[in-house]
Structures are given as structure tokens and as C-alpha cells.
Amino acid sequence: MKNFNLKYIKADVSAGLVVFLVALPLCLGVALASGAPLIAGVIAGAVGGIIVGVLSGSQLGVSGPAAGLTVIVLNSISEIGSYNSFLLAVVLAGFIQIILGAVKAGVIGYYFPSSVIKGMLTAIGIIIILKQIPHAMGIDLDYEGDESFFQNDGQNTFSELARVTELFNEGALIIGLISLGIMILWEQSFIRRNAVLGMIPGALVAVIVGIILNNGLTVLPALFHLESNHLVSLPVTNSVGDFVNLFQIPNFSAITNPVVWKVALVIAIIASLETLLSVEATDKLDPDSRITPTNRELLAQGTGNIVSGLLGGIPLTQVIVRSSANIQAGGKTNLSTIAHGLILLICTLAIPTLLNQIPLSSLAVVLIMVGYKLAKPTIFKQVYKEGQDQFVPFVVTVLAVVFTDLLKGIGIGVLVAMLYILYTNYKGSMSFMREGRNVLIQFNKDVFYFNKSELKQKLLSLQEGDYLFVDGTKASFIDHDIFLTLEEFQKEVKNRNIEVEFKGISRKKINYRTSNANVSKTLTGE
């Protein structure tokens, strides 16, 4: 709890409340899509907030059930054949994550290019907007929290939008529009400056008004009424004992089942990757630019998954949407994360009937505002100003994540960033200058095997009687293939009356010793 600071308690509790409103439908939606009991999503969300919030070194990261694991969880439950045996896989995955943290595997998170992380954040924002528009209009055919382009109902992100005029619910649309108006109003400076209104989160006002409107619309014709599938759907219990009875424990006798171990390994790897991606993204959004210790984060996530599995919850990771909502709501320390977990647990136990009156259209609007702040048009302009080497991977990542899913999109973005680095290095690694019969080939930086083609073309352009000077003083590394190309050229030009001189090309740079002593002396300057 060393991140905790009393002076931020008001801001953190307020942010925790907003994150709770964002997390509630996502926890239920991910559990539903995973083929798990709805309470399993709530358990994972509460554990992610309380347990991981206490142990994590992240000040603003929020953990809970992640959409990226839904297909894996759904298929794993079916493959293992028992939900209780699957819970054992979740527990084992947690232990594997702890081992990953202990061996310092968190360093992997530092290898993602910033342009790709920015692209991922922007893409998530776009996806949130596109996916939540149908929910804001009462089209709840797909689960809350879905981030994949292709949906379980056979539609995709854009085909779903094309059906909104046919399938929308009039009552949900009215509530969504009024909620949107409230959210925009609460962004205005005169509201923020007000001593009373400024303390109340706009998301909370939108949800309360949504509940009132939901009950008030019953006086209108039936087409304005909201059905149960348009509302939050929590399990209702009458006592703490009934609530606890919803929990399930792992089937420890399945410890010898190899499928359980395979599922545990897959969950650990995917959950760790998504967590490390979210950590990088959250740190970039943090107004105070704090850095999360990634190895400690893996330890915290592993502990969280152990506890979640032991209580009957689905796997959890640090998640971008809830983390960004936390930052946008003014969260300052890990207390906001812990507060959201406590509120989620207490409200699910104490007031499930009231929560089940919340229209999904109101919550969808809250998420749309989160998405807009992640994907503002000005972000594209800012990255464009940073140069082509940043803008190209950024745009590719945005498109790849939107049209596939998070991990595939990130993989494509990283690949493009690497290829772009290779391309820019290829284009600027050497320069060629001619003045009369004097020719200079200068290595401007390290040269690799993919520069061999360009070097050969420049060497072939030399004419009889030329004097060639090759300068490698600016390069700290010269690839073996480049050295061989120069060696072969030196042998060839003896019959072409071309004089060659080398500078700054040494064995220290190429780590190569030729069997020809005379050639070696010439090339190394010895």
C-alpha cells in the first residue's frame, strides 16, 4: 500500500466509483461470453481491484476479466469438461505468472515501440466507440466488452452498425442520448468549477438519470420499454450466505490432467502479455509519467489469478479500458483501483436489484466518452508531427487492432515497426559521393547484411582509373557479409586499375579474420 496517499482520497474514491460503473457491464459481459457463471466475472473484477490493487506497483492500472481471454476461456472450459477443473487451471496460471515475475520476464514489456503502444490506445478508443454505439441504442445482441472485429453473433464491427436503424430500441435510444448530453455537460468548465457539482462524477449522474428514465418510460407505449436484456443482469441473493454459495472451488483432483496444465500455460502467457501491454499504455497515459515495475506487476497478477481461481472467478489481467477510465476520472493512486473493487463487491452483495435497473445504454455512453478521449483526432496530428517512422507503425497498428483483435494487431504493428527500422537503416546507412575520379563510400552508421545489395551496386558503378576511399569510422559494427563484399572487390579490382583505400574497418567491428594475411592487413589497416 505504499502508493496510498491520504491527500488524494477524495479524487481516488470518485475515480473508483466511475471505474466501477465501467467495470460492472464488462465483468458481466466477459463472463457471459466466456461461458462462465456471471458471478465469476464479478469475482475476477473484485479480486483485480482489491488484491492486485494492493500488491501491484502500478499507481493507476486496473485489473479484471479481459475480453482478450474470452475465446480461450470458452474453449478451455469445453476442452477440460468441467468448470471446477478449469478453475484449477486459473490457479496454476497464477503460479506460472509468479514464476515469470521472479525470473524477471516483465522486461518483455519494454520492447514494444511507443508508436505501437500509441496506436493500440487509439485503436482501443475507436473500438469502444464502434462497439458501444449499438448498446447505446438498445442493440444488445453482442456481449459487453467485445473487442474483436468478428463477433459471436456472426456479425462484425461495421455490419453491426449497419443494422442499428432496424434494431434499435426507442427507449434505450432516448436514455442513451440524454446520458450523452449529461456526460458532455459534465465536461464543461462551469460544472467542473462548481463546488458541489464538480465533486459528483458525470458518469454517476448519467446512470442515476438512466435508472429514473427506465422506470419512467413504463408509462409510455410498449415500444419504449426496456427488456431485461437491455439492463444490467446480476445474480440476486438475499443474504451473505446465499452470495457466498455462488462461489465455486477448484477441482484439485484434476491436477494430473495434462489438458489443465496446457490451459494454465496458455492463460499465463496471454494474460501476462496483455498485462504488460496495458502497463506500457497506462504509464504513457499517466499525467505524472510514473513507471510501473513490470516484474512486480506479474507477481501481483499471478496472486490475483490464484485468488480468483480459488473463489470461482475467471482469469484476470490489467486492462486498458478500465485503466484509462481511471486516469480520465482523476485517479491519483492505487486507492482508486482498490475502491472500485470494494464498490463492485459491496454493491453486488447489497443492492443487486437496484443495479439491475441500470440501462446498458447509459453505461455504453460512459464507455463512449472513455473511447473518445483515447482516440481524439488530434492524436493522429500529434503522431504525424513526430515523423514518418512513428506515424506509419502507429496507423498500421490502429487499423490492425480494429480489424483483428488486440494481440494480433499489436503483433502486426510491431512487425511493421521493425521492418520500418530496417528500411530506414537501409536507406541511410551509407552515402556515395564522386568528384572526378575520386569516389567516397561512407558508412554513416552500423551496416548489416541487407546493405550488401546497395554496396555491390555502388562498387559495380566504379570505372577504370577510379580511386575509391571507403570510410567506416562512423560505424561501430560492420556485418560479416559487408566485409566479404569488400574483400572480394579488392581482389577483383587488381585487373581494373582501380585503387582502393579503407579507413575504420577493423576486426573489432567485424569480428572476422581472413585466411589471406595480405588482404587482412589491407582491410584492417595493420
Quickly count helices (H) and strands (E) in the chain. 24, 6
The phi and psi torsions of 443 (rounded to 5 degrees) equal: -85, 110
Q: What pLDDT shows up at residue 513? A: 36
Name the grid cell of 81: 469438461
Q: What pLDDT shows up at residue 426? A: 74
Q: What pLDDT shows up at residue 524? A: 43
* CATH 3.30.750.24 domain span(s) along the chain: 429-524
Q: What pLDDT shows up at residue 510? A: 55
Looking at every residue in the chain, the average pLDDT score rounds to 92
Name the grid cell of 329: 476520472
Give the other-Cβ count within 10 Å of 50's Cβ. 21
**10-residue stretch averages of pLDDT, the chain, 526 residues long:** 72 97 97 96 98 96 95 96 98 98 94 94 96 95 90 89 91 96 96 92 97 90 89 93 95 97 98 96 95 97 98 98 97 96 97 96 97 96 93 96 94 93 80 93 89 90 92 90 88 84 74 39 44
Calculate what percentage of the chain has a pLDDT beyond 90. 78
Please give the Cα distance from 397 to 269 (Å, whole number). Answer: 21
Indicate the CATH number for domain 429-524. Answer: 3.30.750.24
Q: What pLDDT shows up at residue 392? A: 94
Q: What pLDDT shows up at residue 4? A: 61
Please give the Cα distance from 118 to 397 (Å, whole number). Answer: 9
Q: Are 292 and 327 in contact (CB under 8 A)?
A: no
Helices (H), 351-443: 352-355, 360-374, 377-385, 388-403, 406-428
The single residue listed with the C-alpha cell 475480453 is: 67
Please give the Cα distance from 203 to 185 (Å, whole number). Answer: 11
Q: pTM of the predicted model, to two decimals?
A: 0.86
